[in-house]
Amino acid sequence: MRIAFYAPLKPPDHPVPSGDRKLAQLLMQALALAGHEPFLAARLRSYDGAGDPRRQARLAALGGRLARRLCRRWRGAPPDLWFTYHLYHKAPDWIGPLVADALGIPYIVAEASHSPKQALGPWALGHRAAADAIRRAAAIIGINPADRDGVLPLLAEPARWLPFGPFLDAASFRESRRITHGPPRLITVAMMRPGYKLASYQLLGEALRRLRELPWSLEVVGDGPARDAVAAALAGLGERLHWTGELAAARVAGRLAAADLFVWPAIDESFGMALLEAQASGLPVVAGAARGVGAVVVAGVTGLLVPPGDVDAFAAAVRRLILAPAERARLGRAARRHVQKEHDLPVAARRLAAILEAVAGPGPGMRA
């Protein structure tokens, strides 16, 4: 099938890296691996972070014009299906439902969330559009299980919600085989921006300052507009702290393979692609059990999860694994096996193929 792909929050070719961009790229790869022909239908970013009704109205009008243009272009040879990745009240889909209705093709959404409390707030227009798109969808691919309770009331049939774990290409990550006997090497990989990312860095700094009597080092991979605030949050760690800045994906994989333990408080994290990447590298994880993190990290099996925002519990969990190399190794091996079994690209491609066949009929089959 020819599949029109759209990511209203951030297109897969956006210049700024993020977990959201990465998953959009991976979804297109999985669709192609399943034997389909995905193509980027539009690059319009519908994101309104400020809650500006006038901006939302402008984006809605622009989306309508783009939808009409696409319908004219595709009238003779429409795509077989429209596939939208990640919509919610701040980034609704102003294009896909209009195109799908006009051309009579199935409309599918991967990762959608709905918060009733936003219905009368500054994102009311985007909230209504996201809700309408969710109701319109033939299927909602539920990447984050924390979204389920909000989305289900909008669906005519609960069976339209299809659980689907986040995934990556595990072959891009090699297993950590660090054999030196020096202090455990901790690592975190995250963008540096205000809000919950900065809050996670602040909690991480406070937790690690409580562990200064233990031997360890921390490598921080990432950059962003809150770089100075992150540096302040990690102040006091001295020579234990190593900054790499932003790295290309291949170099990130190399740094993960050289580490012993991934640490990230994950405050209000949707699920955390970096947590998956760490586990694919054979690293155990210490993280906050926020939102969908539990769908990625299996508590007590692939890592340790603590209550979100609990600095005491986070510090205690990191302490435990610093002092227990055998447990770190056991968790790391289990983490890599778990990712390969449940969260790898070929697994996702097979699951997507089954979903699309159920919604739109048989496709061409998995590519070799």
How big is the chain, counted in residues? 368
Position 72 in a domain: yes
Strand order in the sheet with 303-306: 241-245, 217-221, 185-189, 261-264, 285-288, 303-306
Position 366 in a domain: no
Position 53 in a domain: yes
For residue 65, give its domain range. 2-167+344-360
pLDDT for 175 equals 83
Considering the domain architecture, whether residues 245 and 206 belong to the same structural domain is answered as yes
Identify the burial level of 364 via C-beta atoms within 10 angstroms of its C-beta, where 0-12 means exposed, 13-18 middle and 19 or more buried.
exposed
Considering the domain architecture, whether residues 112 and 25 belong to the same structural domain is answered as yes
Position 316 in a domain: yes
Q: What is the rounded CA–CA span in Å between residue 41 and residue 4? A: 5
Which candidate, 21, 30, 15, 26, places its Cα nearest to that of 352? 30
Considering the domain architecture, whether residues 129 and 197 belong to the same structural domain is answered as no
Considering the domain architecture, whether residues 197 and 307 belong to the same structural domain is answered as yes
Q: For residues 258 and 177, is the Cβ–Cβ distance under 8 A?
A: no
Position 368 in a domain: no
Q: What is the rounded CA–CA span in Å between residue 82 and residue 6? A: 8
The CB-side HSE value for 270 (13 A sphere, CA atoms) comes to: 18
* List of long-range contacts for 115-119, beta carbons under 8 Å, 24+ apart: 115/88, 115/89, 115/150, 116/150, 118/89
DSSP symbols for 186-219: EEEE----TTHHHHHHHHHHHHHHTTTTS--EEE
pLDDT along the chain (368 residues), means of 10: 97 89 95 97 96 97 98 95 97 98 97 93 96 97 92 95 94 76 92 95 98 97 96 94 93 95 93 92 96 90 96 98 96 96 96 91 54
In SS3 terms, 264-287 reads as: ECCCCCCCCHHHHHHHHCCCCEEE
Q: How many domains does the chain have?
A: 2
Considering the domain architecture, whether residues 141 and 286 belong to the same structural domain is answered as no
Considering the domain architecture, whether residues 50 and 138 belong to the same structural domain is answered as yes
Position 330 in a domain: yes
Q: For residues 32 and 38, is the Cβ–Cβ distance under 8 A?
A: yes
Considering the domain architecture, whether residues 128 and 182 belong to the same structural domain is answered as no
Alpha-carbon distance values, 88 to 34, 120, 188, 273 (Å): 27, 15, 28, 19
Q: For residues 133 and 87, is the Cβ–Cβ distance under 8 A?
A: yes
Position 365 in a domain: no
Report the CATH number at residue 21. 3.40.50.2000
Which candidate, 91, 108, 75, places its Cα nearest to that of 4? 108
Considering the domain architecture, whether residues 181 and 138 belong to the same structural domain is answered as no
DSSP symbols for 282-310: T--EEEE--TTGGGTS-BTTTEEEE-TT-
Angle at 215 (CA atoms; ends 211, 218), nearest 5 degrees: 75
Which candidate, 51, 47, 7, 52, places its Cα nearest to that of 26? 7
Position 291 in a domain: yes
pLDDT for 269 equals 86
Considering the domain architecture, whether residues 191 and 226 belong to the same structural domain is answered as yes
Considering the domain architecture, whether residues 179 and 159 belong to the same structural domain is answered as no
Considering the domain architecture, whether residues 146 and 186 belong to the same structural domain is answered as no
pTM above 0.85, yes or no: yes
Residue found under tokens 């951030």 = 10
Considering the domain architecture, whether residues 135 and 176 belong to the same structural domain is answered as no
